[in-house]
């Protein structure tokens, strides 16, 4: 598991919505094969960071290096093509399309064997196989989250960005989803960056974590250590 | 019975033309979320270009080629105009732009083609001029060929939209542009592709209209556009199948009304019916449930 090559490196990133500063200074690194969590309260800037990585928002300062490329100078479609997939906040269903069509959209940019990857997705999420002809908009919240994850991994990306995976899911279900992620990492070697409000679960299932406060990375470390940190416990774990 | 059959054929082929018009507008709606009022004018413009090239050269195939070039050029060149508006989610401004394009094309036809007179096509351009008798009724081969052509083209484009990866990407853009971008659909390229196909379609419609009608003038752009826009909204903006079905329905009803209703009430009745549908079914006749 001791991998050392860095896949994603964010340095001194700041992002503005007009005059409003949403991200002040993010420094962050994700190594190959890691699960890294970014924790933060509402409005800390997690989604803004995710959207800036994939080029939907433009960085004002700083750099985002991914796999030898500078992402801040690339268009979203080029960034996705270079091997990044997203599970967007709110799941991003194409609700009028079927489960199958949503999965097909997941390989829009990736030259992979759709059918064999489809079998892989169905083996992790058998529920999706049963529902493959159903419209995505009519799936339950949990099923939509499975579809969002399935759609993000079917193209075989190098890096997965997952924004608020646990949102509006029951605690038991959140455990299931995170366990599946860990399994995916162990068996398929995915690298995952999680943006999460649910600090307890995120720390439980990630290797390392960053704490984001008012648009700044204020702490980082091994997840197991952060879980015992008094400041983190007080501010994010409600202890 | 013979009258009914003859009207059915003619209604179906007019309906087929409406269906292609709506299909072209829907293609543009999918990628740029605009109701392209000027699309019908583009079709008429390709006819005018075909007329001009034929009259100058006497070569029908060159004329048809020029029609396709004109359709693609006019449509693709208008994409950069819509792009910034579509990017910032503008609604009303795009209507002004689309109507403006239509008006400019109409004025071009009036000012530069046959000094504003009706453009009549030579038999060589109409291709099929034979008619045959079914009992007391005359049926033209052209309207049957047009009908078949409409069906084939509609099937090809629908299959493209529903089965190919680019077509799926276009529908994804219409459903949720943000998500489509997150999945890597390039906003610029896919949009241009949609406009390009719509441009080819405009020329196909032009050719079919030459076959069926044998003439064109600038005003036809407006009357086609009014019907196409209403049909499109009637079926639900971006609803591919609904647009085709309601267009064919309208073509047939019009033909029947013309044959069986006295006077000029046909259009008033039909538009009245449409108005009611738009009021009670805001998402279109075929929408299963309201989107919120
Ligand atoms: N479109 C926008 N226009 C202006 N300000 C925005 C916009 N989107 C986000 N912001 C602001 O940027 C800041 C960061 O928002 P962001 O969505 O990145 O937070 P977040 O950490 O993802 O929060 P949450 O956990 O609630 O999803 C917030 O203060 C928010 O109000
Ligand atoms: Mg967020």
A24 lines ligand 1 (CB under 6 A): no
Tens-binned pLDDT, residue by residue, of chain A (239 aa): 444 689 999 999 999 999 999 999 999 999 999 999 999 888 889 999 999 999 999 999 999 999 989 999 999 999 999 999 999 998 999 999 999 999 999 999 877 888 889 999 999 999 999 999 999 999 998 899 999 999 999 999 999 999 998 888 888 888 989 999 999 999 988 999 999 988 888 999 999 999 998 888 888 889 888 888 888 788 777 76
Total Cβ atoms within 10 A of residue A74: 17
Interface residues from chain A to B (CB-CB < 8 Å):
54, 56, 75-77, 80-81, 86, 88, 92-97, 101, 104-106, 108-109, 151
Q: Is the dihedral of CA A146, A147, A152, A155 positive or negative?
A: positive
B179–A108: do the CB atoms touch at under 8 Å? no
A1 lines ligand 1 (CB under 6 A): no
A46 lines ligand 1 (CB under 6 A): yes
Flag whether pLDDT at B198 surpasses 50: yes
Residue B266, in any domain of the structure: no
Q: What is the mean pLDDT of residues B224-228?
A: 91
Reported as half-sphere exposure (CB side, CA atoms, 13 A), residue B168 has a value of 18
Contacts with A81 from chain B: Cβ below 8 Å: 184
Separation CA A118–CA A125 (nearest Å)? 10
How many H-runs (helices) and E-runs (strands) does chain A carry?
10, 10
Reported as half-sphere exposure (CB side, CA atoms, 13 A), residue A119 has a value of 4
Nearest to A105 among B168, B178, B189 (CB): B168
Inter-residue contact A158 to A85 (CB < 8 Å)? no
Radius of gyration of chain A (CA): 17
Which atom of ligand 1 lies nearest, measured to the CA of A50?
Answer: 18
Question: Which residue is closest to B179 within chain A, CA to CA?
Answer: A92
Give the domain range for residue B195: 10-226
Residue B124, in any domain of the structure: yes
In 3D, which of B124, B73, B126, B81 has the Cα closest to residue B99? Answer: B81
Question: Which residue is closest to A153 within chain B, CA to CA?
Answer: B183
Strand locations in chain B (E): 119-120, 131-134, 137-140, 215-216
A56 lines ligand 1 (CB under 6 A): no
Contacts with A80 from chain B: Cβ below 8 Å: 182-184
Cα of B175 to nearest chain A Cα, Å: 6
Contacts with A77 from chain B: Cβ below 8 Å: 181, 184-187, 189
Residue B257, in any domain of the structure: no
* pTM of the complete model: 0.90
Separation CA A49–CA B179 (nearest Å)? 16
Total Cβ atoms within 10 A of residue B156: 12
pLDDT at B292: 32
Cα of B172 to nearest chain A Cα, Å: 7
What pLDDT, in 10s, does the model give residues B75-108? 999 999 999 988 887 778 888 999 999 999 999 9
| SS3 of residue B235 by DSSP | helix
How close is the Cα of A31 to the center of ligand 1, in Å? 26
Any idea which ligand is nearest the CA of A38? Answer: 1
Radius of gyration of chain B (CA): 19
Nearest to A77 among B171, B179, B184 (CB): B184
Residue B286, in any domain of the structure: no
Residue B92, in any domain of the structure: yes
Inter-residue contact A43 to A215 (CB < 8 Å)? no
B176–A94: do the CB atoms touch at under 8 Å? yes
Residue B272, in any domain of the structure: no
> How many residues belong to chain A?
239
How close is the Cα of A6 to the center of ligand 2, in Å? 25
Reported as half-sphere exposure (CB side, CA atoms, 13 A), residue A109 has a value of 23
Which residue, among A96, A100, A134, A159, would best test binding to B if mutated, counting the most B CBs under 10 Å from its CB? A96
Nearest to A88 among B179, B185, B187 (CB): B179
Inter-residue contact A209 to A220 (CB < 8 Å)? yes
Beta bridge partners of A10: A28, A64
Separation CA A169–CA A49 (nearest Å)? 23
Question: Which residue is closest to B161 within chain A, CA to CA?
Answer: A101
Residue B161, in any domain of the structure: yes
Nearest CA to ligand 1 atom 16: A45
Nearest CA to ligand 1 atom 2: A17
Which atom of ligand 1 lies nearest, measured to the CA of A89?
Answer: 27
A17 lines ligand 1 (CB under 6 A): yes
Cα of B189 to nearest chain A Cα, Å: 10
| SS3 of residue B184 by DSSP | coil
The lowest-confidence range among A137-151, B36-50, B180-194, B231-245 is: B231-245
What pLDDT, in 10s, does the model give residues B9-40? 888 989 999 999 999 999 999 999 889 999 99
Residue B250, in any domain of the structure: no
Tokens encoding B133:
């008798």
Secondary structure of B236-288 as H, E, C letters? CCCCHHHHHHHHHHHHHHHHHHHHHCCCCCHHHHHHHHHHHHHHHCCCCCCCC
Q: What separation in angstroms does the CA of A80 have from each of A71, A149, A156? A: 10, 15, 11
Q: Which residue has the higher pLDDT, A50 or B264?
A: A50
Which residue, among B177, B182, B239, would best test binding to A if mutated, counting the most A CBs under 10 Å from its CB? B182
pLDDT at B29: 92
Domain count, chain B: 1
A131 lines ligand 1 (CB under 6 A): no
């Amino acid at each position: 598991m001791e991998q050392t090559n860095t896949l994603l490196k964010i340095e001194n990133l700041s992002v503005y919505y007009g005059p409003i500063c949403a991200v002040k200074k993010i420094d962050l690194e994700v190594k190959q094969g890691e699960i890294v969590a970014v924790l933060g309260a509402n409005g800390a800037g997690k989604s803004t960071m995710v959207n800036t990585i994939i080029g939907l928002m433009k960085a004002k300062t700083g750099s985002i290096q991914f796999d030898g490329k500078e992402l801040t100078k690339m268009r979203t479609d080029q960034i996705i093509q270079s091997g990044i997939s997203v599970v967007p906040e709110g799941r991003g269903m194409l609700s009028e399309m079927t489960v199958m069509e949503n999965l097909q959209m997941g390989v829009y940019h990736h030259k992979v064997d759709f059918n064999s990857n489809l079998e892989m997705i169905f083996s992790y999420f058998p529920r999706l196989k049963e529902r493959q002809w159903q419209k995505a908009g009519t799936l339950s919240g949990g099923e939509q989250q499975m579809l969002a994850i399935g759609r993000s991994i079917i193209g075989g990306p190098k890096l997965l960005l997952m924004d608020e995976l646990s949102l509006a899911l029951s605690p038991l279900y959140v455990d299931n989803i995170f366990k599946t992620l860990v399994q995916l990492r162990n068996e398929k070697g995915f690298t995952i960056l999680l943006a999460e409000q649910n600090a307890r679960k995120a720390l439980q299932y990630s290797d390392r974590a960053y704490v984001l406060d008012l648009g700044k990375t204020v702490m980082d470390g091994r997840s197991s250590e952060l879980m015992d940190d008094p400041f983190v416990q007080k501010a994010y774990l409600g202890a | 019975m013979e009258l009914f059959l003859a009207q059915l054929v003619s209604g179906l082929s007019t309906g087929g033309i409406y269906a292609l018009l709506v299909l072209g507008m829907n293609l543009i709606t999918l990628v740029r979320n605009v109701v392209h009022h000027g699309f019908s004018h583009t079709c008429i413009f390709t006819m005018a270009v075909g007329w001009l090239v034929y009259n100058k050269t006497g070569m029908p195939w060159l004329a048809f080629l020029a029609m396709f070039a004109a359709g693609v050029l006019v449509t693709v060149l208008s994409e950069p105009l819509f792009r910034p508006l579509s990017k910032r989610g503008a609604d009303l401004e795009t209507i002004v732009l689309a109507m403006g394009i239509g008006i400019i094309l109409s004025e071009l036809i009036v000012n530069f083609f046959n000094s504003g007179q009706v453009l009549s096509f030579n038999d060589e351009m109409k291709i099929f001029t034979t008619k045959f008798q079914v009992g007391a009724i005359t049926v033209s081969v052209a309207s049957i060929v047009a009908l078949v052509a409409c069906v084939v083209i509609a099937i090809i484009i629908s299959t493209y939209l529903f089965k190919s990866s680019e077509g799926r990407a276009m529908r994804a853009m219409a459903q949720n542009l943000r998500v489509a971008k997150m999945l890597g659909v390039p906003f610029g390229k896919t949009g241009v592709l949609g406009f390009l196909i719509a441009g080819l379609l405009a020329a196909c419609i032009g050719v079919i209209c030459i076959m069926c009608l044998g003439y064109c003038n600038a005003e036809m752009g407006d009357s086609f556009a009014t019907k196409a826009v209403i049909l499109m909204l009637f079926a639900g903006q971006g609803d591919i199948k609904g647009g085709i079905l309601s267009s064919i329905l309208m073509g047939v009803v019009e033909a029947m009304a013309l044959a069986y209703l006295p006077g000029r009430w046909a259009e008033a009745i039909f538009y009245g019916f449409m108005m009611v549908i738009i009021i009670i079914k805001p998402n279109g006749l075929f929408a299963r449930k309201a989107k919120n």
